[in-house]
Amino acid sequence: MTQPIAAFGQLTCGSFLFRCLAALLVFALPADASEAPGLLDPPAYVGSAACASCHEDATRAWTGSDHQLAWTDPGPETVLGDFDNAEFTNGGVTTRFLTQDGKYLIEAEGADGVRRAYPVVGVAGIRPLQQYLLEPEPGRTQVYDIAWDVEAKRWYPVFPDQIAPPGDGFHWTGPYKSWEARCAECHSTGYTRNYHAETRTYSPRMAEIGVGCEACHGPGAEHLAWAADPRDWTPRQSLTDTGLTADLGASAETLIEQCATCHSRREAFFDGNSLPGTPYHDAYALALLRQGLYHPDGSIQDEVYVAGSFLQSKMYARGVRCTDCHDPHSLNLRAEGNAVCTQCHNPAGNPRFPTLHPADYDSPAHHFHKPGTPGASCPSCHMIERVYMGIDARRDHSFRVPRPDLAATGSPDACTDCHTDRDPAWAAAEIAKRYPEGRHTQPHFATTLAAARLDPAAEVPELLSLAEDSGAAPIVRATALELVGFAADPAAADRATALLDDPDPLVRAAAAGALSGLPPEQRLDRLQPALRDPMRNVRIAAAKALLDAQVAPSGADAAALSGAMDEYRASLMTRTDFPETHLQIGGAGLTMRNWQLALNAFGEAVSLDPQLVDGWSMIVRINAALGQTDAARTALDEALKANPDNPALTALQGQIGAP
């Protein structure tokens, strides 16, 4: 039999400071420890109805919008699906939709495999699809994954290839279909999910279902007091001069960050909605241009919710804001068709954006297509479209010019999205012919990111040059730094350290991780400023980068490190209903060489989702490395029962050996 230590690596104990941190991770936080940043005593929420009498036009536009109808109670006015004893079969599993005594019911297999009729307790969305919320047991609301196609008037599977049996994490009763964990905060106002880890249930609280006025402007009690008598109202620190927590007119950045709280792929640091007006990077860690989420050129791949795309655009860099194109209350576009774009892209230009080249863009001389055809539409070329949730077509908001010459990097090509009978080489030649000095003649970060995804160490010089390019979008620069961190290159540390002072918090946070090639003690010294950064995402990134540090500082440095570690711990404990959070905690345990913490965390991960093979593998490997062979075999048997014939798990059988 293979010796466990030789097979799995030497295991030792870590520093006292970080063993203490690890111990803290296994206990629940106090009730108020994960409150979002903002006012210590924020105003009360009053509900959208309280706003209507003064803000009639905004209310009229908002009524019936996707925001207002993001979450509704079931009823004849809100339920669009066919509940007239309709049936739908997918993957051999039949669902029945019916009504009984005025209630809407969905008959389906529960977590135990038994079919029963579940009452619909909520309705999610209004177009282009509508989903229904069920309560398989008290304290848990789940999103049923057979949805109603509003336009085609049919039932359909949101994830047609995801035929998950009861007990699977992706079954409709599993953790990935949890309404409280995955959806509710962006479909409601003033939401906290209040997860109880010991029972795996929720006690959610919210001001209002649906995205109401206060979801963006902030709780309105003080605003009502101001409106009642502005002269008698006493201003409060951190409120606007009209008593709100968010001043959405203060700057383009303020508005964009508020929209991005929901319209982005991100990791939240707190339970539920952050208080409107909170700086985005103090409440969330934005997902960078990672493989599987974005293509190497930064265009959308997975469901990433707009903001990460828009931050790459020249429009964002020049001060364009969401409301320049979208009405913030109705959510409708400001104009029809190309007129949205020609507000600025026209022969007269737009005085707000003096760097814009005035020209007739809505012309065959620019787009080379017959007017009125799909090819003449600005989004066809500059906003590729991808379909999510089966039928929901969404546009990339990076507003990039077509670059079929980048197809070799694995990036998509807007031209062949339409010209399906052609290839990118044809499209690249056509663009070169029409625009001989166009963007295709310039280098693009896609080539660097594509190569670095395969071998980050080989691309460190190019990645650092990209990270230092102040003309590149911060999200691109931060992505380059994240890849530098994967390379663990000590020679890169000096250049990466300089970027800890970058104006953008995305870059500063990524720079902290880029110091991974340095010994922990040197990292601790260089990251002291990051531990005191004004933005929480940077402080947490620095804390994560120091998990393996063996020497604890003293005085003010110790307080900064302890504070950042507490924030990191709090952010993890806020998300203990996510299986992937326990993988992160397990990884932290491995980094700190706290094997019991790692085993507990990986154990909770596979308990929530038995199909997490990585979690099972780590349980088996840690037990084997500790010489606990029987425990390793028992875990492996459980893992294979949940994941029969999985090659990664069967490979472990040979490494552990027979009893």
Q: Is the pLDDT of residue 2 over 60?
A: no
Q: Is the pLDDT of residue 19 over 60?
A: no
Q: Measuring CA to CA, how many Å separate 259 from each of 88, 136, 164, 194, 210?
A: 36, 32, 34, 24, 15
- State the pLDDT confidence band at 398, using cuts at 50, 70 and 90: very high
- State the pLDDT confidence band at 654, using cuts at 50, 70 and 90: confident
Q: Which residues pair with 27 in a beta bridge?
A: none
Give CA–CA dist 265/467, Å, rounded. Answer: 21
Give CA–CA dist 418/370, Å, rounded. Answer: 14
The pLDDT, as a whole number, for residue 38 is 60
Q: Which residues pair with 131 in a beta bridge?
A: 124
Sequence-distant (6+) residues with CB within 8 A of 564 are 531, 539, 540, 542, 543
- State the pLDDT confidence band at 39, using cuts at 50, 70 and 90: low
DSSP per position, 476-494 = HHHHHHHHHHHHT-GGGHH
Tell me the per-residue pLDDT of 533-560, one tens digit each, with 9 for 90 and over: 999 999 999 999 999 987 778 899 999 9
The pLDDT, as a whole number, for residue 28 is 36
The pLDDT, as a whole number, for residue 652 is 94
- Give the pLDDT mean for 108-136: 97
Q: Is the pLDDT of residue 639 over 60?
A: yes
Return the exposure string of 150-177: e unless at least 16 CB atoms fall within 10 Å of the residue's CB, then b: beeeebbbbbeeeebebebbbbbbbbbb
Helix (H, G, I), strand (E, B) or coil at 117: strand
Tell me the per-residue pLDDT of 340-383, one tens digit each, with 9 for 90 and over: 999 999 999 999 999 999 999 999 999 999 999 999 999 999 99
Nearest to 575 by CA among 277, 236, 182: 182
Give CA–CA dist 484/55, Å, rounded. Answer: 50
Helix (H, G, I), strand (E, B) or coil at 626: coil
User: Do residues 34 and 573 make contact, with C-beta atoms less than 8 angstroms apart?
Assistant: yes
Phi, psi of 473 (to 5 degrees): -65, 140
Q: Is the pLDDT of residue 139 over 50?
A: yes
- State the pLDDT confidence band at 35, using cuts at 50, 70 and 90: low
Q: Centre a 10 Å sphere on the Cβ of residue 291 and count the other Cβ atoms it contains.
A: 16
- State the pLDDT confidence band at 205, using cuts at 50, 70 and 90: very high
Give CA–CA dist 619/102, Å, rounded. Answer: 49
Give CA–CA dist 78/489, Å, rounded. Answer: 56
User: Do residues 602 and 596 make contact, with C-beta atoms less than 8 angstroms apart?
Assistant: no
Tell me the per-residue pLDDT of 245-295, one tens digit each, with 9 for 90 and over: 999 999 999 999 999 999 999 999 999 999 999 999 999 999 999 999 999
Alpha-carbon dihedral 518, 519, 520, 526, rounded to 10 degrees: -50
- State the pLDDT confidence band at 29, using cuts at 50, 70 and 90: very low
Q: Is the pLDDT of residue 157 over 90?
A: yes
Tell me the per-residue pLDDT of 216-247, one tens digit each, with 9 for 90 and over: 999 999 999 999 999 999 988 889 999 999 99
The pLDDT, as a whole number, for residue 553 is 84
Distance of CA 22 to the CA centre of its chain: 26
- Give the pLDDT mean for 305-313: 98
Give CA–CA dist 502/533, Å, rounded. Answer: 11
Nearest to 59 by CA among 190, 257, 191, 210: 210
DSSP per position, 539-603 = HHHHHHHTTT------HHHHHHHHHHHHHHHHHHHHTTTSHHHHHHHHHHHHHTT-HHHHHHHHH
Residue 6: in which H helix or E strand, if any?
Answer: helix 4-8
Domains of the chain: 4-24+578-656 (1.25.40.10), 56-213 (no CATH), 446-566 (1.25.10.10)
Give CA–CA dist 197/179, Å, rounded. Answer: 16
The pLDDT, as a whole number, for residue 657 is 64
Tell me the per-residue pLDDT of 66-107, one tens digit each, with 9 for 90 and over: 999 999 999 999 999 999 999 999 999 999 999 999 999 999
- State the pLDDT confidence band at 10, using cuts at 50, 70 and 90: very low
Which amino acid, one-letter code, is at 402?
P
570 or 11, which is more confident: 570
Q: What one-character DSSP code corresponds to residue 18?
A: H
- Give the pLDDT mean for 141-170: 96
Q: Is the pLDDT of residue 475 over 60?
A: yes
Give CA–CA dist 398/414, Å, rounded. Answer: 13
Residue matched to tokens 């097979």: 7
Q: Is the pLDDT of residue 6 over 50?
A: no
Instruction: State what percent of residues in the chain have pLDDT above 70.
Output: 93
Nearest to 301 by CA among 402, 400, 394: 394
Instruction: Kindly report the average pLDDT of the chain as a whole number.
Output: 93
